[in-house]
Chains A and B, each alone.
Chain A
Amino acid sequence: MQNLELSVNMIFVTAKDWILALLGHFLPAWIVVLASILISGVAILCLGPVIMMYLTLLERKVIGRIQNRYGPNRVGIWGLLQPIADGIKMFTKEDIVPANADKLIHLLAPIMTVVPALMIFVVVPFGKQMTAVDLNIGFLYFIAVSSITILPIFMASWSSRNKYSLLGGMRTAAQLISYEVPMTLAAVPAIMMSQSLSTNAIVLTQAGSLGLNWFIFTPWGIVGFIIFFLCATAECNRPPFDLPEAESELVAGFHTEYSGMKFALFYMAEYMNAFTLCGIAATLFLGGWQGPILPSWIWFFGKTLALVCIMIWFRGTFPRFRVDHLMAFAWKFLLPLTLVNILLTALWHFVSPLAAWPVSVLVLAVVLYTLVKLNRVFVPEKRSYVFAD
């Protein structure tokens, strides 16, 4: 029984080890090392696009249900082949480049968006011993790589020579830089408590006896998770933070001038970012692959998909932010809250848990109340026109 559980738990790791052992019989050691890199690389390179394809289907299905429609259900059963049909459509479409566009950068931008999106997969711990590269600065790597995504978006907007694209790019730069700050700071408590930047070590600290000692079960964990998740939604330009590609104002924002597969690459990057950001959020606060009974990778994918579904739920619910509200929310509300949260985590570390809960809740309540009061938007009193009545 123990053996079976272990084997299901480690099914992918065992498969990889088995292939490597097989290769080791008749190939020199350095080729086996290369093969090891190749296997992980190919797995990630296949996983990314497949996840993207089926997230689009999931999104269209869930949004459809929210709006009392079926969503795609014609290609294959339950529309399961719809993403493939979409892919074929994208591949066969004409690639139009504006006459005055900066051709090289216009070509490079969609390629460059996908690369960091795929690179983040490297440090995501998919399961027990299933981190492709267990960097000891895994989280730092994630922050660094995910912040590159601003650059190709700005490249795309600048090179297409279109005012809508440029406006979208400007908004992206402003939004992503703003939300990067509270996102990083919201993750600091998790790093403080696990005393490591390695994503794998962060997951291991949340083990507990049943694998249920997740950070979200603490006051600073809840606050940190909510802030991190909101910022992650903003980071991958998903509604209600989709100002960079606001259809009603900017046609399609930074990818207005892209068609065919180049457009599809932007889409792919967006969905892969959504998935990895949800994965990192699950890693930092929801215990990653920790959990009782079920195999570790099922826990990880379950948590991540649940978060993705919440993102889709957001999209089905909320209207878009106004630009100034968006900025004010990041700088005037989330940022101070994350700073308080970091202090609270330190307090939690030194005070016994019994006393820490009421103290934390009290501090958070006071801070929230103050921030809400301070952030109140000035609404002038209704004017009355004496002579008009």
Chain B
Amino acid sequence: MKYAFYTGCAAKGACPELYQSSLKVIQRLGLEVVELTEATCCGAGVIREGYPELSLAINARTFSMAETMGLNVMTICGTCQGVMSSAQKQLKEEAGQLDRVNALLAMDHRKYSGTTQVKHLLWILVKEVGLNRLKQYVVRPLNGLRVAPFYGCYILRPSWDLGFDDPVNPSSLESVISALGAEPVNYSGRTKCCGFPLILENEDIAMGMAGANLGEAKEMGADCLVTPCPLCHMSLDLYQERAEQKVGERLGLPILHLPQLVGLAMGFTCEDLGLARHMVSVGKVLEKVGAI
């Protein structure tokens, strides 16, 4: 299985541990990837607010790169996945959209004909690698670890753009958590917003959301949270102290990127997975799974 690897900006910026742990897991699984080093930001749903056609064009540019290589795109960011899935749907279904975008891409001597598919690592683990094969790579089962899945908005909604999980009762993260030997925690916040899009604009509202979801997960007995989206990671980990201030409660809940959780079960070390970069210490988790 070979993919054009779209890292997104966070994995190359504020979440280098996501990039690092993704590569470890991808290599261990024997997946081949070619990194799209010339690809731009997907626009994160922000650029399209002001400039919708620009947002479409920069994403079509990325799709065209993968198309030229004859590969599908692998993402490791829920937000990238959502933005790109929606862009694909628009390019496919809205009349004239592909032609307009190609007129812009001509400036870059590129053309997109509409054949690329975009898949998040989570989906690849569940559908293409398969949970049974994933289990074969587990050398350190995460027995007894209670993991709260946190999907993030973009990988779920609108469901007709994504077409993978059920938006109300998704199960892909849970199935991966179980395959690794850990126990998924059920709580209503798992499909809600982490608050990240409002963090610089209205931190109070953003932290209300982050705090409520973290508090609920903790109350349900979670040892840690796992998320397929680095922007959720930033809101829940980088800003956890501010979320604690907002809800007036000590949380101390470690937040793991999806490949970090998978990597732990594969036997990688704390350093391999960049776990020491987090704001909230993952010590408790490492202790529980016997990684230290």
Binding between chains A and B: no
